[in-house]
Amino acid sequence: MSFSDIFKSGFLEKVTAVDLADMAIALVLAFGLGLFISFIYKKTYAGVMYSASFCVTLVAMTMITTLVILAVTSNVVLSLGMVGALSIVRFRTAVKEPLDIAFLFWAIGAGIVLAAGMIPLAMLGSAVIGVMLLAFAGRRSRLHPYIVVLRCDGEGSENRACALLETCCKRSMVKSKTVRAGEVELELEVRLEGEDTGFINTLAAMEGVTSAVLVSYNGEYTA
């Protein structure tokens, strides 16, 4: 068959290009593998604001990729058109966690490998990646990071507040300092061993401290 004969095929002839049984098996496996990927994501998530919709996105991404690759492998003309169509797609959603990019590529890669018929590679590779992520990314530090925002009326109250933080926290580091007329504003990163945050009440009650705010911190942003 010449290259020009490819364009002469009728629309109905393409219906049987992909076997229905193979299609069903690939989509079911993609759904199961997507659930496994989303489960690993949930177990290893270390951020502040967990997004359940991202887990659904991982499952959908695996199935959609499998669907697209099944269509591409069944028709040469469709594969050329798909490359052109996908080249104009732009995603502008900000990725808050660097590890989220790895999960997106994992879902896409698993869908591609499944659609290519390499089921053992998709299953074994995903299992190895999942174990690796659970071992390294899922490991939690015993020190919990927080940001403390202090407003003091002068240098004396600032020094007393910082001295209290040194005794109550395992680690204390000044991130920023703003000095205005009659006011000093401090942002400090602190590390706590447990969940006891009673020291912030003591800080707020100190003489010269006008306000004390404690927010969760994951190293990238506050919430």
- CA 202/CA 206 separation, integer angstroms: 6
Across 56-60, 95-99, 135-139, 199-203, the highest mean pLDDT is recorded for 56-60
Contact 191, 145 (CB under 8 A): yes
Classified as helix, coil or strand, 177 is strand
Angle value at C-alpha 143, between 220 and 100, nearest 5 degrees: 35
Using only C-alpha atoms, the chain has a radius of gyration, in whole angstroms, of: 27
Task: Write out the two tokens for 99.
Answer: 């590890």
Name the one residue in this structure whose structure tokens are 């109250």.
157
The better pLDDT of the pair 106, 167 is held by 106
More confident residue, 168 or 83: 168
The average pLDDT across 159-165 equals 85
Q: How far apart are CA 145 and CA 48, in angstroms?
A: 11
pLDDT band (50, 70, 90) for residue 223: very low
Third-level CATH fold of 144-216: Alpha-Beta Plaits (3.30.70)
Q: How far apart are CA 79 and CA 94, in angstroms?
A: 29
Q: Which pLDDT score is estimated for 2?
A: 52
* Calpha distance 70→211 (Å, rounded): 60
Whole-structure pTM value: 0.61
Contacts of 68 (CB under 8 A, 6+ apart): 82, 111, 115
| pLDDT value, residue 39 | 92
Domain ranges of the chain: 4-136, 144-216
Q: What does the DSSP 8-state code read for residue 217?
A: B
pLDDT number for residue 82: 61
When pLDDT is averaged across residues 161-181 and rounded to a whole number, the result is 83
Instruction: Using DSSP, state whether 139 is helix, strand or coil.
Output: coil
